[in-house]
Structure 1
Amino acid sequence: MHSTPLISIIIPNYNHALYLKQRIDSVLNQTFQDFELIILDDCSTDSSREIIELYRGNPKILQIIYNKKNSGGVFKQWIKGIEKAKGEYVWIAESDDYSADTFLEETLKVLKNDPALGMVFTNSNTVTNKGAFLTTTAESKNGTYAKLATDGNIIDRHNVSSFLISEMIIENAGCVLFRKKSLLSLNFLELEKYINTGDRFAYVGIALNAQVRYIPKALNFMRSHEHNTTKKSFENGNIHKDRLRVLNYYFNDMDNYTSNRENIVAFYKTNYLSFIHYGEYQDNITLLRKLKERKEIRTRFYQLVWFNLFLFKRVDLKSKILKGIYYRILLMQK
C-alpha cells in the first residue's frame, strides 16, 4: 500500500441516519482497498452522529468532521472534503446511497489507464428507500444512453450540451470517480453558491477541459425517497435557479462549438419561464443578452422574454402568490 492513499473517499452527510450504515459499509467493503475515508456531517439533527461514531478508530478513516452549524449547501462539504483529500482520485459517496463492492476496482482501472479522462461514471440502479430495485438510469434514459454509445461513450467539449445540459445523463454523484486535479481546476468560489446542481457545474467544467467516459455497468445504487434533495429542489425552484447559473457560467465555452449551439437554444426556450420565475434577475438578463448578441434567438422571442422579465420584476418580490399565479398562466399559454 502507498504511503499516500491512491483514492480519497468523501461522505458528506446530512440527516441520512437511516441509510448511513449501509453507505459506510459499502465503502469499507470495497475490493480495492488503497483509499482513505473522510466523513463530513453537516450538523445533522437525527442519529447520524451515533452511527458515525461506531466507525471511529477504523484505520481507513482519515477524518470525521462535525459542523457546528449547517453549511446550507452540500457543495460546501464537497469543497471541504476535496481540499482535505490526499489521494490522486476522489469519490464523493453520497450518504443516502450505496455501491457494489467492485465500484472502485472497476472505475479506477478505466480512469487510471487513460490520462485524457477527467472522470468516469457508471450506470446506476434506482432503488426504493428499503433497497427494492426499480430501474436503472440507462433504462429510464435509454434514448440518451443510446446516443452516447454512438459517441463512443465519451462526453467532451464537442457534445457536452447533449448529455449535461439538454439532458442530465449523470443522475447521481455516487456513480462518479474523479481525477482530483480535474476537480481542483474548478472555480470553488462559484461551486459553493449552488444548492442543487453543483454536480452539473462540476461535470460540465470537467468535460470542457478533459474527457468523461461512461462505464456501462450498474455499480451504484441510488435511492428514490421522499427526502431526496433533487425532488425538493424541483418543488422549491432551486434546481431552475442553479441550471440558469450553470448555463450562464459556461455559455461562452460551450457556444464556441457549433455542435452545442442548437442544444443550448432549445434548452433555454424550453425552460425560460422557469428561469424567469425562479432565477436571479441579473442572471436572466445576462444570458438573454448573450443569446441575442450571438444572434441565436430571433427578435420577437427576445422581446417576449424581456416583456415577461419586466412584469416579474414589477411584481412585488414579496408577493410569491402573485408571481406563482402569473407563472402558471404563462405555462398554460406556452
Structure 2
Amino acid sequence: MFESSKLNEPLVSVIIPTYNRPEYLQQAIASAVQQTYQNIEIIVSDNCSSENPRAIVESFGDPRIKFWRQERNIGMLANQVYACKIARGKYLASLHDDDMWNEDFLIKLVPHLEANSELIIAFCDQYIIDAQGKIDRALTEENTKAYKRDKLAPGVYQSFYKIGLVDKSIPTAAACVIRNNIIDWESIPSEVGGMWDLYLTYLCCISGYSAYYYPEKLTRYRTHEQTDTILSGGKDAQAKIRKAKSEMFCYKIFSQDQRLKEFQPYFQQKWLEAHTTLGIGLLRNQQTAAARPYLWQALSQQKFNLRTLAALTLSFTPQPLANQLLGVSK
C-alpha cells in the first residue's frame, strides 16, 4: 500500500458541520483523524447545539482540528458555507456529522485531482449504514443502482451535467473531494437550503472543469430517523415544506440555464413535482388556502398526475376528514 507522505501532500480541508448529534459527531471526527492521508485540517462548525460539543472535539487532542461554535442557530446551509469559506485547503471535502469515511478515502481520491489540473471534483461510491453504524448491504446495492453508479465507468467525465444533475450520481455532500479555489462559496443563495449539495454539483458542472469517478465504496452514509431526507419523505410537514421550496428554487435556476437546455423538460417536471410536494406539506400544516395555488399550477402544467390530483381533492375535503387521510394528529 502507498504510504502517505505529508511533505508531498497538498492541504485538504475536511468540513464537518454539526448540530445536536454528539455521539455520531465523535465517530465522524474519528474517521477524519484516522485518514491515511495526513495533511488535513478538520473544521468542525457547530450550529449552536443545545450541548456544546467542544469537549468531544478537544478529546481527540489533534492540532489539525479547528472548532467553531455559532452564537445562534444560523441554519444548516449557512453553517456549512461558513466552514467552507474559512477552509485553507487546496482541496475540500464535506463530511456530515452522522457519516463516516473509510481510512483510505482521501488517499484514493486526492491523487487524481493532483494528476489532472482539469478536474474540479473526484467522487466515489458509498455504503449505506444504519443508526448503529452497521452496513446495510441491500440498501447499499439499491442506492448504487438508484444513482446509476453501478453502470458508471471509472475515469474522467469532461461534461457531467447528466450524471451530476439528472442521474445525481455524484454524492457531493458525502463522498467527494473538490478543488477549492474554483468554487465561490459566497455565490450559494440561502434559498438553496437542503439542496445545497445538488447546487454545489451544479456549480461544478458549469465550471468548465471535469469530474473523476472512482468506483470503490469509500464512505459510509448513515440513514436514521432524524435525517432531513427521512423527515421530508414522511409526515414531518415543516421538513417537507423546506425540501419543496429548496427544490423549486434549484430546478427553476437549472431550467433557465441555457447550458442545460437539453435537460430542460426534466428540470421543469421536477419543478412541478416540487409544487405538489409543497402543496402536500402545506396541507399537512393545515394551510389549505396556501396549498391550492401550488397544486393547481402543478396540475395545469403537466400531464395527468394522480398524486397532485389527490392532494388537490384533499384541499376541498372537510378538515377533520382531510387530517385523517393525511395522518395529521391534530
Give ranges in structure 1 of 5+ residues lacking alignment: 289-296, 316-320, 329-334
Q: Residue 183 of structure 1: CA displacement?
A: 2.5
1:116 aligned partner:
118
- 1:214 equivalent in structure 2: 213
Aligned equivalent of 1:30: 35
Q: Which residue of 2 aligns with 1:227?
A: 226
> What residue number does 2:270 align with?
267
Structure 1 distance, partners of 2:28, 2:300, is 52
- Residue 44 of structure 1 is aligned with which of 38, 42, 49? 49
TM-score, length-normalised on structure 1? 0.74
What RMSD, in angstroms, separates the aligned Cα atoms of the two structures? 3.9
| Counterpart-to-counterpart distance in 2, 1:146 and 1:302 | 30
Distance 1:132 1:147 in 2: 22
Quickly say closer, same or farther: Cα 1:187–1:250, change in 2 above 3 A: farther
Unaligned 5+ runs, structure 2: 1-5, 283-289
One-letter code aligned to 1:301: Q
1:3–1:267: structure 2 CA closer, same or farther, 3 Å change rule? Answer: same
Which residue pairs with 2:165 in the alignment?
Answer: 164
* Partners of 1:215 and 1:176 in 2: CA distance: 10
Listed as ranges, the matches of 1:1-334 within 5 Å are 1=6, 6-46=11-51, 48-56=53-61, 58-61=62-65, 63-71=66-74, 73-135=75-137, 137=140, 139-142=142-145, 144-145=147-148, 149=152, 154=157, 156=159, 158-159=161-162, 163-165=164-166, 167-171=167-171, 173-184=173-184, 187-188=187-188, 190=189, 192-209=190-207, 210-234=209-233, 235=236, 236-237=239-240, 238-253=242-257, 255-276=258-279, 301=301
Kindly state the Cα deviation for residue 47 of structure 1 after the two structures are TM-superposed: 6.3
Overall identity of the aligned pairs, in %: 20
User: Structure 2: how far apart are the matches of 1:259 and 1:148?
Assistant: 21
CA distance in 1: counterparts of 2:49 and 2:185, whole angstroms: 30
Task: After TM superposition, give the deviation of residue 34 of structure 1 in Å.
Answer: 1.1
Q: Work out the number of aligned pairs and report it.
A: 298
Larger RCO of the pair (alpha carbons < 8 Å, separation 6+) = 1
Distance 1:148 1:264, change over 3 A: farther
2:48 match: secondary structure? coil
Q: Deviation digits for residues 36-84 of structure 1, max 9, x if unmatched?
A: 111111111246333123135x2212x211122111x222122211221
